[in-house]
Chains A and B, each alone.
Chain A
Amino acid sequence: AQSVTQLDSQVPVFEEAPVELRCNYSSSVSVYLFWYVQYPNQGLQLLLKYLSGSTLVKGINGFEAEFNKSQTSFHLRKPSVHISDTAEYFCAVKGGGGSNYKLTFGKGTLLTVNP
């Protein structure tokens, strides 16, 4: 079975600082990888996805992520965060092991941007 580990449950940063949210997955076959963001009292919004091709993926709101197959990681980065980036971020994997119909999510990382 595939699984996703988000290494940090909470990440506090100051405004305009860079941030990295870490995500590792386990799967023995090829997978698709996603980052979703959830603002308070809202659903999930797709930030970016890796399906194939270039391992550096750019998403909305200035976020990017790098797929590293050897380290089974898909870390999310932003060079300069804003107060409005405060939200919970979920890494998810799809595919592999007969589970290509559903997203398997990590537990989430709460990013808090302080002034």
Chain B
Amino acid sequence: KAGVTQTPRYLIKTRGQQVTLSCSPISGHRSVSWYQQTPGQGLQFLFEYFSETQRNKGNFPGRFSGRQFSNSRSEMNVSTLELGDSALYLCASSLQASQETQYFGPGTRLLVL
């Protein structure tokens, strides 16, 4: 069974631009969560989607948003990029919402210049 896939793997943007990241969960998994990883703040929860609905949200500004499609694939969007948004963005999938075990993808590394 294929794992979680994320595209693109690397991305370079400039301040003020917006970016969209994509995540395809493990086949059969319906919940997708997003995390941001930075050297300073570590791994932080962004949000969780299940059945095309945002179920939970972390403590991030409204510039961070996401959505989930009927096939459980999810996209994350960051508008008006700031230098501090440079990070590794990780997607994790699980069978159901708030299920105990999450499986992570390889991440998308975003660099904002």
Contacts and interface: CB of A to CB of B under 8 A. Distances in A.
A51 interface: yes
B111 interface: no
Contact of B101 (A49, A90, A102, A104): A49
Nearest to A90: B43
Nearest to B103: A46
A79 B47 CA distance: 37
Contacts of B6: 43
Nearest to B98: A101
Interface of A: 32, 34, 36, 41-46, 49, 51, 90, 92, 94-95, 100-108
Secondary structure type dominating chain B contacts:
strand
A44 B4 CA distance: 11
B90 A43 contact: yes
B98 A43 contact: no
A42 B103 CA distance: 13
Interface of B: 4, 6, 33, 35, 42-43, 45, 48, 55-56, 58, 90, 92, 97-98, 100-107, 109
Contacts, number: 53
Contact of A43 (B58, B100, B106): B106
Nearest to A50: B100
B104 A102 contact: no
Contacts of A103: 33, 35, 43, 45, 92, 102
B43 A105 contact: yes
Q: 4 tightest A-B contacts by CB?
A: A102-B45, A44-B104, A105-B43, A101-B98
A94 B4 CA distance: 20
Contacts of B104: 36, 43-46
